Amino acid sequence: MAVSTNNFKNGMCIMYDGKMWIIVEFQHVKPGKGGAFVRTKLKELKTGRVVDVTFRAGEKVDDVRVETRKLQYLYSDGSAYHFMDTDTYEQFELAADFVGEAAKWLKENDEAEVLIADGQMIGVEPPMFVELAVVETEPGFKGDTVQGGSKPATLETGAVVQVPMFVNTGDVIKVDTRDGRYVTRV
């Protein structure tokens, strides 16, 4: 199905130059001279590389239908991550490099969304917010407040985030997986 550049949206998946791309951002430009055009930043699904591409206004490209499927993360054996569909109990083994950055937010039994385009798995999205235990951080001192600085903390999945000074080892914190930001103590 063809879609016009006038209908572009961030996060839309398109087929361009024989490859699948996600639109990271786009901008319609109407110069004083000449025809209008659309400047885009596209991320290739297979490799993750980001490129700038300019389209003429009204140009058509193929739209790729992307579906999401909720899968439960079971375990990792080092080279692969194992997921299960909770409806059919079907299990999937996904390579570590395929799961990529999402792996640092997944703990056993968490649900993640797997993106599927044209019947092919193209990516893993962790939940937007996760609750993880702090396994290592410098100790806080009496008088440390929310307005104080921040310090690095290593979480149970291996991810490192900046946390306020009052957070201690053993605390469970809520983290925003979109940008790796501390939200609150649980």
Q: Tens digits of per-residue pLDDT, 100-144?
A: 888 899 988 989 988 887 777 878 888 889 999 999 988 866 555
What is the reported pLDDT for 142?
58
Q: Are both 113 and 163 inside the same structural domain?
A: no
pLDDT < 70: residue spans in the chain: 140-148
Three-state SS for 17-64 is CCEEEEEEEEEEECCCCCCCEEEEEEEECCCCCEEEEEEECCCEEEEC
Q: Checking DSSP bridges between strand 80-84 and strand 66-76, what pairing results, if any?
A: antiparallel
- Assign 87 to helix, strand or coil: coil
Task: Looking at the structure, tell me whether residues 11 and 38 fall in a common domain.
Answer: yes
The pLDDT assigned to 147 comes to 61
pLDDT of res. 143 = 58
Same domain for 92 and 51?
no
What is the structure's pLDDT at 146? 54
- Are residues 11 and 49 both part of a single domain? yes
Please give the residue range of the domain that contains residue 38. Answer: 2-63
- 8 shares its domain with 58: yes
Same domain, 116 and 145: no
Residues in contact with 30: Cβ distance below 8 Å, sequence separation at least 6, in sequence order: 36
List alpha helices for the chain, DSSP H.
Answer: 96-99
pLDDT at 155: 93
Q: Which two tokens stand for residue 72?
A: 């439960």
Which of 79, 102, 125 marks a domain boundary? 125
What's 117's domain CATH number?
Answer: 2.40.50.140
For the chain, what is the domain count?
Answer: 3
Same domain, 93 and 76: yes
**Strands, E assignment, 30-180:** 37-44, 50-56, 60-63, 66-76, 80-84, 91-95, 111-117, 120-125, 129-137, 150-155, 160-164, 172-176
Output the pLDDT for position 144. Answer: 53
